[in-house]
Amino acid sequence: MPKTLNELINTENPSWTILKEWIALAKNKVEILPVNKEKAEEALVQAQVSTRSLMGAIIYETGGLLIENGWIRILGSGCDKMKRSLPAWNKGKTFTEYGEIPPYLLVADDAAGGIFAINGGYLGEDRGKIYYNSPNSLKWQSLDIEYSQFLLFCFENDLNEFYQELRWNGWENDILNLDPDYCYIFSPFLWTKEGRDINQVERKTVSMEEGYNFNMEMKTALRK
- Here the CATH number for the domain that contains residue 112 is 3.40.1580.10
Does some domain include residue 28? yes
The answer to whether position 32 is within a domain reads: yes
- Range of 55's domain? 5-159+173-223
pLDDT for residue 12 is more than 80: no
Q: When comparing pLDDT for 72 and 7, which is higher?
A: 72
Q: How many residues does the chain have?
A: 224
pLDDT the model gives residue 221: 83
Q: Is 168 inside any structural domain?
A: no
Q: List, for residues 28-86, the tens digit of each pLDDT value.
A: 999 999 999 999 999 999 999 999 999 999 999 999 999 999 999 999 999 999 999 99
Residue 72 in domain: yes
pLDDT, position 136: 93
Q: Which pLDDT value is given to residue 92?
A: 96
Identify the pLDDT of residue 52.
Answer: 94
**pLDDT above 90 coverage of the chain, percent:** 89
Q: In 3D, which of 221, 185, 177 has the Cα closest to residue 205?
A: 185
Could you report the per-residue pLDDT of 175-221, keeping only the tens digit for each?
999 999 999 999 999 999 999 999 999 999 999 999 999 999 988 88
Q: Would residue 165 count as lying in a domain?
A: no
40 domain residue, yes or no: yes
With respect to residue 218, please indicate whether it lies within any of the assigned structural domains: yes
pTM for this one?
A: 0.96
Q: Whole-number mean pLDDT of the chain?
A: 95
108 forms beta bridges with 74, 116
CA 86/CA 64 separation, integer angstroms: 9
Residue type, 5: L
Q: How many domains does the chain have?
A: 1
| pLDDT of 224 over the 70 cut | no
Residue 166 maps to a domain = no
| H or E element in which residue 41 lies | helix 37-47
